[in-house]
């Protein structure tokens, strides 16, 4: 909008520009308070619209949650050996810890004997790997 069309141009010389007595529309009372005041009173609807999570708190969190972020099943060991395995050695070794896997689960069947290095392992997965002639080495790193 051009400056010459603004309402202020017409109000020049009127001292209060349509806000009544001098100093009205200047103090914090005309804004509904300073800062975040009035969120439970007269600014409640704007709080619901613009900051609905203002009051309350997040639920409690355990201090050290044991979260398994990446896992593999026994059925995936053939594909993982093709992808990550050490094919030069006599033993078929799959080091899943260094590849970012946290846990070995016992789903599926296994045919080849593998030596699997992993942080955690379920009992059924360890049993299936041993039945196929392999072993599971759990590490702490």
pLDDT along the chain (141 residues), means of 10: 92 92 86 92 95 89 79 91 79 88 92 90 94 89 57
- The tokens for 134 are 């392999």
63 located within any domain:
no
Q: What gap in Å lies between CA 49 and CA 60, rounded to an integer?
A: 26
Same domain for 132 and 75? yes
Per residue in 111-122, pLDDT (tens digit) is 889 999 999 999
Q: Which domain holds residue 35?
A: 3-50
Q: What gap in Å lies between CA 32 and CA 30, rounded to an integer?
A: 6
The CATH number linked to 35 is 4.10.990
In 3-state terms the chain splits into helix, strand, coil percentages (rounded to 5) of 25, 15, 60
Output the pLDDT for position 42. 95
- The tokens for 128 are 């299936």
Same domain for 76 and 130? yes
Question: Is there a contact between 41 and 71 (Cβ–Cβ < 8 Å)?
Answer: no
């Amino acid at each position: 909008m051009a400056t010459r069309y603004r309402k202020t141009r017409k109000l020049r010389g009127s001292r209060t520009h349509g806000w009544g007595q001098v100093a009205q529309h200047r103090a914090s009372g005309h804004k509904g308070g300073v800062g975040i005041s009035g969120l439970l009173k007269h600014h409640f609807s704007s709080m619901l619209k613009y900051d609905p999570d203002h009051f309350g708190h997040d639920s409690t969190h355990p201090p050290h949650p044991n979260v398994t972020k990446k896992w593999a099943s026994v059925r995936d060991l053939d594909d993982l050996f093709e992808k990550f395995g050490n094919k030069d050695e006599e033993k078929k070794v799959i080091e899943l810890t260094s590849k970012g896997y946290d846990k070995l689960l016992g789903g599926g069947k296994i045919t080849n004997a593998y030596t699997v290095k992993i942080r955690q392992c379920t009992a059924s997965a360890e049993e299936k790997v041993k039945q196929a002639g392999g072993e599971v080495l759990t590490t702490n790193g």
